[in-house]
Amino acid sequence: MNDSTRLTMRYCCYCGGPVVERIPAGDSLPRMVCDACDIVHYRNPRVIVGTLPLWKDQRVLMCKRAIEPRLGFWTIPCGFLENGETTEEGAIRETQEEAHANVRITNLHSVYSIPHINQVYLVYRAELLDLNFSAGEESLEVRLYERDEINWSEIAFSSVRFALESYYADLDARTIRTHNGKFIPEY
Ligand SMILES: [Zn+2]
């Protein structure tokens, strides 16, 4: 277990009592446990959802980030899944928020795990329905990219790079499938 998965909670968010770190009965991993109200405070990876918005199956809509991390770098629309929404709803919402873009999801494009920071990306391939897009609050600029226009050193995240590379691999192979990827840093 590395630093990012260490548990730091000190007080129970339900009763305010102290929490202790121990392995609950029947479990195999240490958890933060409140003995006052008998609650186990599980902490699990977060899901990030997004779309790969395609115009005529040729060009990809990307956003230049207006916020940290990776301010000024390019991403596809994506963000944290909210409670109460499906992954598809979250992906469409993020696409609306970041690019004011109208999309129709076609299929699950990529699943990408980043275990050292406890993140899982789900990216949906989506059809851009019109060209009425513009920069949302979290974007400096939004534009369509041709394949040879992409500057790979300006891509914000490894998950986005993976989604784009997978898309072009599909194009070259004349296929559409779901891709599985991961990022494991070398220490
Ligand atoms: Zn408690």
Proportion of the chain in helix, strand, coil states, percent, rounded to 5: 20, 35, 40
Residue 35's Cα: distance from chain center in Å? Answer: 34
How many CA atoms are closer than 13 Å to the CA of 124, on its beta-carbon side?
Answer: 24
CB 96 within 8 A of CB 85: no
- Please tell me the predicted confidence (pLDDT) of residue 178: 98
**Ligand 1 centroid from CA 15, angstroms:** 4
Q: Are residues 35 and 107 in the same domain?
A: no
Q: How many residues does the chain have?
A: 187
Instruction: Establish if 81 belongs to a structural domain.
Output: yes
Query: What integer is the mean pLDDT of 110-118?
Result: 97
Query: What integer is the mean pLDDT of 19-32?
Result: 94
**Ligand 1 centroid from CA 46, angstroms:** 23
Instruction: Establish if 122 belongs to a structural domain.
Output: yes
Q: Are residues 70 and 35 in the same domain?
A: no
CATH label of the domain that carries residue 27: 2.20.70.10
Express each pLDDT in 119-154 by its tens digit: 999 999 999 999 999 999 999 999 999 999 999 999
Is pLDDT at 1 greater than 90 in this prediction? no
Q: Are residues 104 and 61 in the same domain?
A: yes
Q: Are residues 116 and 30 in the same domain?
A: no
Tokens of 121: 């990306």
Q: Are residues 36 and 128 in the same domain?
A: no
Q: Are residues 32 and 54 in the same domain?
A: no
Q: Which domain holds residue 137?
A: 46-182
**Ligand 1 centroid from CA 85, angstroms:** 27
Q: Are residues 34 and 94 in the same domain?
A: no
Express each pLDDT in 44-93 by its tens digit: 999 999 999 999 999 999 999 999 999 999 999 999 999 999 999 999 99
